[in-house]
Amino acid sequence: MRLVIHRDSDKKTHSSSWSLSWEAHCKEQGIPYKILDVFDPGSFRTIMDHDALLMHFSNYSVRDMLYARPILYAAKQRGLRIFPDFFDSWHFDDKIAQSYLLEAADASIPRWNIFYRKSDWQDWVSQNSEWPVVAKLRTGSGAHNVKMIHDRGSAIKYGNKMFSRGFKPNPSVFFKSTSNIRSVKSSEMFFQRARRVPEFFRTWLAAREFPNEKGYVYIQEFIPNAGFDLKVVVVNGKLGYLARRVRHGDFRASGSGDIFYDHSLIDRDLRDQLFDVSDRLQSVCMGFDIVIDEAGNKSKIIEMSYGYAHSAVSKAGVLWKRDGELVEGHLDAPAEILDFIVSY
Ligand SMILES: Nc1ncnc2c1ncn2[C@@H]1O[C@H](COP(=O)(O)OP(=O)(O)O)[C@@H](O)[C@H]1O
Ligand SMILES: [Mg+2]
């Protein structure tokens, strides 16, 4: 088994890139690997000479979003094992695609709606009596592109903008910095985050290349909740999690940086539901964002992504197996992926 691990040679590798962990694990386990930039001219010929291609492609890079999947799927057609494979990656960073798919899989999700015509949106707004609703751009993470619409007037304004100029999908520097500063709990944490400012700046620069999102309105029902959301991941038949408090005076948790662990939040029902959904999606590695309804204790999947902050999930210190067994240990997603690729 000879692996190719993609690493972009003209960008500084982000500290959260899975390619760093893959390389470390390959070295540790003596698995032959080659670091290669799939965007180098002629590199596809080298890829075809290997048995597997691993690519942690990013939603903040236009190049990754346009070309990673064609390269991966072509490599698969050639007979290589790939990560992420089709079922985990075709809907990556596209909440509209995910909603269709999760609905098709009978998953527990918030009521949602998509409007591709301004007149349809206006009709819906004039008839709707349940406010607020949550409006999202198709793309983005860290809650940058998620907002609450409180009333009819704001809904009309939002639609007017989505059906004209649209919104920039890149992260907001102001939102990111205020979230980060507010959730700092110690001076060590402050310096840790300060060291990552240049990294965020590079991400922000790259993400500015994306065109405006427009031509649709995508909404979800607002789920009143107990002030946090969960990231529950199912990878290679194992389940792990982290919990995130919402920002102060805000309903949004993702990107708040205020992470905590409480194993009792991950009950049997939720675990069974996610193992089930992950099977129906034919998924190998998926992070599900979950909001728990304050009233009914019912959990709903609000979005999903094959890539996530794996080290924060591993810090939970536990993982569950499909049969319900709780194991003390660190769920290491890149290592699980490597195991999966090498063994199937
Ligand atoms: N339908 C919803 N009801 C209540 N809160 C929500 C809903 N959708 C999103 N949120 C909150 O907003 C945050 C960001 O939404 P999410 O869809 O996960 O976008 P992102 O891709 O930016 O993480 C979530 O972490 C959650 O706290
Ligand atoms: Mg999210």
Specify if 9 maps to a domain: yes
- Residue from 172, 246, 290, 302 to probe ligand 1 pocket by mutation (most atoms less than 8 Å from CB): 302
DSSP structure string for 159-222: HHHHTTT-B--SPPHHHHHHHHHHT--SHHHHHHHHHTHHHHHHHHHHHTTSPPB-S-EEEEE-
User: How far, in Å, from the CA of 254 to the mean position of ligand 2?
Assistant: 5
Residue 191 has pLDDT above 70, yes or no: no
Q: Are 79 and 161 members of one domain?
A: no
Task: Tell me, yes or no, whether 216 and 234 share the same domain.
Answer: no
Q: From CA 258, how far away is CA 265, in angstroms rounded?
A: 16
Same domain, 246 and 265: yes
Q: What would the pLDDT profile of 128-169 be if each residue is shown by its tens digit?
A: 999 999 999 999 999 999 999 999 999 999 999 999 999 999
Residue 248 and residue 170 in one domain: no
Phi, psi for residue 109 in degrees, rounded to 5: -135, 160
For 89-107, what is the mean pLDDT?
A: 98
Q: Specify the residue with its C-alpha closest to ligand 1, atom 7.
A: 222
Three-state secondary structure call for residue 315: coil
99 Cα: distance to centroid of ligand 1 (angstroms): 13
Q: Which of 74, 79, 2 is nearest to 38 (CA)?
A: 74
Q: How many A from CA of 109 to the centre of ligand 1?
A: 12
User: What residues make up the domain containing 193?
Assistant: 95-221
Q: Would the CB of 91 count as within 6 Å of ligand 1?
A: no
Q: What is the dihedral of CA 33, 241, 317, 327, to 10 degrees?
A: -90
How far is ligand 2, taken at its centre, from the CA of residue 72, in Å? 25
**Mean pLDDT of the 30-51 span:** 97
Query: How far apart are the CA of 40 and the centre of ligand 2, in A?
Result: 32
Strand 259-260 versus strand 285-292 pairing type: unpaired
**Is 327 found in the same domain as 256?**
yes
Has residue 335 been placed in a domain? yes
In this prediction, residue 278 carries a pLDDT of 98
> Is residue 89 situated within a structural domain?
no
CATH number of the domain to which 309 belongs: 3.30.470.20
Q: Which of 50, 83, 116 is the last residue of a domain?
A: 83
Q: At what angle do helices 197-207 and 187-195 cross, to 10 degrees?
A: 40
Domain end marker among 171, 205, 221: 221
User: Which pLDDT score is estimated for 173?
Assistant: 67
- Ligand 1, from 246, 258, 289, 294: best to mutate by most atoms within 8 Å of Cβ? 289
pLDDT on residue 178: 67
CB of 180 within 6 A of ligand 1: the answer is no
Residue 181: the pLDDT is: 67
**269 & 303 share domain:** yes
pLDDT of residue 296: 65
* pLDDT(115) > 70: yes
Number of domains in the chain: 3
Give the strand pairing for 238-245 and 228-235.
Answer: antiparallel
Can you read off the two tokens belonging to residue 18?
A: 């899975």
The reply to whether 239 and 193 lie within a common domain is no
Of the candidates 147, 193, 194, the one whose C-alpha atom is nearest the C-alpha of residue 169 is: 147
Q: Let me know whether 262 and 319 are in one domain.
A: yes
- Report the range of poorest mean pLDDT among 1-5, 165-169, 187-191, 309-313: 187-191
Ligand 1 mean position, distance from CA 146 (Å): 7
Q: Does residue 215 share a domain with residue 142? A: yes
In a domain, 90, yes or no: no
Query: Does residue 339 lie in a domain region?
Result: yes
Ligand 1 close to Cβ of residue 134 (< 6 A)? yes
- Answer whether 300 contacts ligand 1 (Cβ < 6 A): no
111 part of a folded domain: yes
Domain boundary among 196, 221, 246: 221
**In-domain check, residue 51:** yes
Q: Are 108 and 300 in contact (CB under 8 A)?
A: yes
Check pocket membership of 169 for ligand 1, CB cut-off 6 A. no
CA distances from 300 to 142, 169, 289, 291 (A): 18, 25, 8, 5
> Is the CB of 258 within 6 Å of ligand 1?
no
Instruction: State the Cα–Cα distance between residues 160 and 165, nearest whole angstrom.
Output: 9
Any ligand 1 atom below 6 A from CB of 142 = yes
Ligand 1 pocket check for 140: Cβ under 6 Å: yes
- Same domain? For 120 and 41 the reply is no
Q: Decide: 19 and 48 in contact? Cβ < 8 Å.
A: no
- Starting from the CA of residue 252, give the closest ligand: 1
Do 118 and 173 fall into the same domain?
Answer: yes
Query: What's the pLDDT at 132?
Result: 98
Residue 235 confidence (pLDDT) above 70: yes
Atom of ligand 1 lying closest to residue 110 CA: 1
Residues 100 and 212 in one domain: yes
Task: Specify the CATH number for the domain of residue 25.
Answer: 3.40.50
> Between β-strands 238-245 and 259-260, what pairing exists: parallel, antiparallel or unpaired?
antiparallel
Answer whether 331's CB lies under 8 Å from 319's CB: yes
Interval 172-183: pLDDT, tens: 766 666 666 677
Q: What is the pLDDT of residues 258-302, one digit of tens each?
A: 999 999 999 999 999 999 999 999 999 999 999 998 876 789 999
Q: Is residue 88 part of a domain?
A: no
DSSP 37-91: -TTSTTHHHHHHTSSEEE----TT-HHHHHHHHHHHHHHHHHT-EEES-HHHHTT
Question: 68-82, 98-112, 183-197, 325-339: which has the minimum mean pLDDT?
Answer: 183-197
Ligand nearest to the CA of 222: 1
**How big is the chain by its Cα radius of gyration, in Å?**
20
Tell me: the pLDDT tens digits for 212-224? 999 999 999 999 9
